[in-house]
Amino acid sequence: MTVKVGDEIPNGELTYVPYNEKEELNACTVPQPYKIHDNLKNKKAVIFAIPGAFTPTCTQEHLPGFVKNYDALKARGVDEVICVAVNDGFVMNAFGKVTGANKNIIFAGDGAGTFTESLDLTLDLSSLGIGKRSKRYAMIVDNLVIKYLGVESGGNVEDSSAEAVLAELK
């Protein structure tokens, strides 16, 4: 069953590369574990998921809103902004670097899709040749409890946009 507002976010492990301003663009740093419950306990976080790093809507429409509104999110008490995709940590690291957004946003890979499956937010894009991915969504998590969940039903970026999240953070 799909997670909903009021649920505790499932515990899971993603992979990410912590930001390092000295690291070269093509340096190949090994991703580290990002344990959901360990990292988000007693914190407010915005997690937004994209179907795939480097895909057009994700790169040109979804991510830019979170980059543009990062300071506004922080001003409303958000401790962490996390971009998740069913990609490996290496791809997510490259995506963060290429877009220039890795300084503020954590780019976390859910390589096997296990975290996405635990949320019941899997999207089958096999017809496009990219397999099982994550639905496009955004959620506000406060001390491990989901306070907002906006899941897109098509290719839109509305309920999962940074603006929709900001409206919920009042």
Catalytic residues: 58
Which residues partner with 138 through β-bridges?
A: 48, 150
Coil/strand/helix, residue 2? coil
Q: Give the list of residues 6+ apart from residue 59 with CB closer than 8 angstroms, or none.
A: 53, 95, 99
- 108 residue type, one letter: A
Please, is 139 exposed, middle or buried when counting C-beta atoms within 10 Å of its C-beta (0-12, 13-18, 19+)?
Answer: buried
β pairing state of 80-85 and 106-109: parallel
d(CA 91, CA 108) in angstroms, rounded, equals 9
